[in-house]
Structure 1
């Protein structure tokens, strides 16, 4: 582990909900890319990535689940450059799979940096990509003697990992009691993620800025107003009583000094309720007013403290994650009621003049479950990246028409994504579907045979129950397939419960608790170190499951004590061996064992 960096760290406040609301159609992944004026050399890009990881090793992390919260843990996993083949912003966080939360890929003359939002925000991604591109071009063109981008202060490891939300939290700051109005929602059939619409529009910074200044506003205010109007045009008359509202992410580093490479952002909500008499200037000046009122440090601090106050609430902290998940998902759903779409302006990327020879532009866009606009600028080019899960692209067309009306020249870039729109086949899922059908077919056939032979369904119920048990065991094995050790614990729990039920319904003999549970616990306990050895797992990857298996293996003594167990030898054997394993972990691996406890039980 690199000096100065912690082995694990909690998620930043803004990222707490991301793992809970991530699914296959909203991956919470965003792409930052650099379009070069030459074809990318994959070997040089790999060397550049290796150099970049030396500066930002905290990106070498995986997402793990504790009892109360998710957390990030350092892993010695190498990051490899890949040729782009998957649809943009495809899933990077896959539960139970220990993989890095970012991917660097290339296609023709484009370098892509895709990252899961729980790892970093737009500013952190911009810093990483800038370092990557700089390293690549210096390695690619040693004869050009390209200068390095000099930063006044290089962030220390501690500063990169800083939890800025907690640093600036104050319980003395009052709550924001402002009530949010429900906003109009975009309707229509949603596309699958692989078919997400991506529209990129390039506008000149100078002319766009001149147009904004002619109205006395900033570029961000101008584009926000244009997006609001573009959306409004697609809202039916019977739904125009509600406002059209945008979530605008805010870089909190502009208000609270921080060198954190994690998530440190908040947001404001800017909306407008349209009428038949509304003009573009009306919307523009109202948006300007809202920006002025909401982008005030005291107001920003009040909102930021509101986010952190929930995280620090002792009741919420004590609720197990599996229960907390449903409340957080419900909270995210309720919070989204006041939002129609998202607009995120990342800002300006700056490089020395010599780099203009090789860099054409930068761009950014994000996964979404509705509509999102992201923008960034380099030199005199501002790239607007629309992503949409709505099949109709009228809003994007309305926006480009407004650019023409405002006499802002633009160019719509043709998408060139090799993986876009592809439906990837999942053979494992087909196997499970086939197995499910076979289990159902066997149960139905047994019922038919039973009735035709005896005109009753006496033994059919046993056959159907057997098929159900087989389906449950295989189903759990499939859904937990990415983590064998977790799969073992789930299988022990499931098989024990099923055996207890069988034991009960065929006339209680006690074999389920006398033999199945203790021998099953011993089998799991013995399997953990074997799997860890064969799979070359790091200590952090198996220690918790060994600890868990040892604790489960001590439970039979409780069953003996309350008189449930009749044949005690297997239970005594299981308890004794499990206790010795547990004691050995605390005697020989006390520091590591306690660390695992702290990580998993951190509230």
Structure 2
């Protein structure tokens, strides 16, 4: 591959826009591919292979950042670490404000695991990365055997190809809109696991048997498995629940219709639903699904739906809406859309490796985090692996699915989970400290009210004490939420602290101390603290520049207040304005290019 200059930042593709906002404790939006070898994994050799793989695919070496209007990905020279698996599968990877990569490589016994936050890539990009990682690992471990280094992909492809936003490339305004959303779907019922816990079940069966049975019905493997899944869910429904259809969200790889080498997200989806009426024959479900897929999986229909995905993103009015407001609507839209989906079925397809590497590889597998139930399928040689992940405590649907496959003459077996045992629940010291802090603030307010009533009820000083406790708690809460980014935390504390001081000044009779002293001195203190933090932590220019700009601009406000004759004591305000103006001039003169680039990232619409 040719030597390339790496893009420092890029916008999120259309499919990735909702993932940061929709990520929560119940669904981390993380998926896992794994490769199970025929020998235990060597951690040192895996690290060597990972370094080599990231060098080839630097598109994965990115962190997620917030702009004013959109999220974006920024390249960071952070070394990806291959670690022994200790966490639960598909644990949280994206943490707001944390400077961390959006993928993880772990190993346990014979397995190499690749977990990816979905905003970074989709299944196709992840498979490409994992195949290269496994190849590099085998070359490192079996170097004495002179394994041939066989290219797995087109070596002429560049970083620009990997980072391509294929949604924008193939978007066409002239094509017609797709269909309206379908009816509300049946929702899975029963006790659910807490937080990010999932019930993971893997089924293994011969590809040849599944294909033979699917062809005997005159359908594809995807249609056959979709129909089995629908019927397995139906068996757990009551007659009353059959009023709503069972609807599966089925992701579609758009690369099958539009040529693309992109390793970013490039997929759409179908909503395959069936309304059961009592004892519905399996053949009726198969026939309905066959007609549905034949109708929907044509390029014109796929293109129409893809354009619908992108149309909202291209709307100039919506683009001008600040990101925080967009996130609220994205979260609401995700919850609303989820009502049309019962479960998800993602067929990744066939994973191939050169024949020379096959003796060392047992199988590939895939599963994903979910807030409901999802089945993922992938095959390697003549072995099909179905990975079920579910929030339900019950495994009846998985049991029904396996039984139905056996009734169709398919040798289906449930594989034993290969994960490290979670001996103790995870402890979050920071969360516990914040909980105690919140309790202390409430206790302080209650105690002040009680003392006020007992000692001198005619002089009500307790409301001021409660207000002080509230201010203290808000500042502490913001500090806790923004603790991963000190500079952002400082800016929040500056704004909130100033607002509270102005309110206190106004409530107590307005003496002007909030704008005469607190605001200008607080700005200077924040600027000085930012300078110290940036130096001590050796922060790169993009990590601190926008916060210096924001603090310096705020520091000019005291001059405006002085000109408006609001400030009575001029020395702090003039000193603050002069220092902040010089700070801005320094950035303009010595960091002009960096300033322009940073403003482009943060204010891109």
Normalized against structure 1, the TM-score is what? 0.98
Superposed, which structure 2 residues align to 1:310-389 within 5 Å?
310-389=312-391
C-alpha distance in 1, partners of 2:72/2:216? 48
Which deviates more from structure 2 when the two are superposed, residues 515-524 or residues 422-431? Answer: 422-431
Which deviates more from structure 2 when the two are superposed, residues 460-469 or residues 398-407? Answer: 460-469
Gaps of 5+ in 1: none
Shift of 1:457: 5.8
Contact kept, 8 Å, 2:191 with 2:394, in 1: the verdict is no
* Structure 1 equivalent of residue 224 of structure 2: 222
C-alpha distance in 2, partners of 1:285/1:459? 75
C-alpha distance in 2, partners of 1:419/1:125? 26
User: Can you list the C-alpha shifts for 1:456-498, whole angstroms capped at 9, x where unaligned?
Assistant: 4612222222222221221111111000000000000111111
SS in 1 for 2:568: coil
Shift of 1:504: 1.4
Which deviates more from structure 2 when the two are superposed, residues 330-339 or residues 415-424? Answer: 415-424
Shift of 1:153: 5.0
Q: Does structure 1 residue 594 correspond to structure 2 residue 564?
A: no
* Structure 1 equivalent of residue 514 of structure 2: 512
Gaps of 5+ in 2: none
SS in 2 for 1:240: helix
C-alpha distance in 2, partners of 1:419/1:100? 25
Superposed, which structure 2 residues align to 1:346-495 within 5 Å?
346-418=348-420, 420=422, 423-456=425-458, 458-495=460-497
The size of the alignment, in residue pairs, is 603
User: Can you list the C-alpha shifts for 1:274-302, whole angstroms capped at 9, x where unaligned?
Assistant: 11241101101111111110000000000
* Structure 2 equivalent of residue 278 of structure 1: 280
SS in 2 for 1:44: helix
Change (3 A) 1:422 1:204: farther
* Structure 1 equivalent of residue 96 of structure 2: 95
Shift of 1:563: 2.7
Contact kept, 8 Å, 1:83 with 1:106, in 2: the verdict is yes
C-alpha distance in 2, partners of 1:193/1:449? 41
Change (3 A) 1:331 1:194: closer
* Structure 1 equivalent of residue 21 of structure 2: 20
Shift of 1:419: 5.2
C-alpha distance in 2, partners of 1:46/1:150? 20
* Structure 2 equivalent of residue 549 of structure 1: 551
* Structure 1 equivalent of residue 500 of structure 2: 498
Normalized against structure 2, the TM-score is what? 0.97
C-alpha distance in 2, partners of 1:455/1:53? 69
Which deviates more from structure 2 when the two are superposed, residues 473-482 or residues 11-20? Answer: 473-482
* Structure 1 equivalent of residue 61 of structure 2: 60
Shift of 1:354: 2.5
Contact kept, 8 Å, 1:194 with 1:420, in 2: the verdict is no
* Structure 2 equivalent of residue 188 of structure 1: 190
User: Can you list the C-alpha shifts for 1:410-458, whole angstroms capped at 9, x where unaligned?
Assistant: 1211113115585211111111111211222222222222222224461
C-alpha distance in 2, partners of 1:163/1:44? 33
Which deviates more from structure 2 when the two are superposed, residues 107-116 or residues 180-189? Answer: 180-189
Q: Does structure 1 residue 197 correspond to structure 2 residue 206?
A: no
- Match for residue 289 of structure 2 among 259, 280, 287: 287
C-alpha distance in 2, partners of 1:130/1:52? 10
Change (3 A) 1:179 1:33: closer
User: Can you list the C-alpha shifts for 1:517-554, whole angstroms capped at 9, x where unaligned?
Assistant: 11111111222221111111111111111111111111
Which deviates more from structure 2 when the two are superposed, residues 58-67 or residues 433-442? Answer: 433-442
Which deviates more from structure 2 when the two are superposed, residues 427-436 or residues 114-123? Answer: 427-436
Contact kept, 8 Å, 2:523 with 2:551, in 1: the verdict is yes
Shift of 1:178: 3.8
Contact kept, 8 Å, 1:96 with 1:483, in 2: the verdict is yes
* Structure 2 equivalent of residue 142 of structure 1: 143
Contact kept, 8 Å, 1:88 with 1:419, in 2: the verdict is no
SS in 2 for 1:73: strand
C-alpha distance in 1, partners of 2:339/2:569? 59
C-alpha distance in 2, partners of 1:153/1:85? 35
SS in 1 for 2:339: helix
C-alpha distance in 1, partners of 2:423/2:326? 35
Kindly report the root-mean-square deviation, in angstroms, between the aligned alpha carbons of the 2 structures: 1.5
C-alpha distance in 2, partners of 1:12/1:189? 36
Shift of 1:557: 1.9
C-alpha distance in 2, partners of 1:258/1:457? 74
Change (3 A) 1:152 1:479: closer
C-alpha distance in 2, partners of 1:98/1:19? 15
SS in 2 for 1:520: helix
Contact kept, 8 Å, 2:21 with 2:327, in 1: the verdict is yes
C-alpha distance in 2, partners of 1:390/1:230? 15
Q: Does structure 1 residue 37 correspond to structure 2 residue 50?
A: no
SS in 2 for 1:537: coil
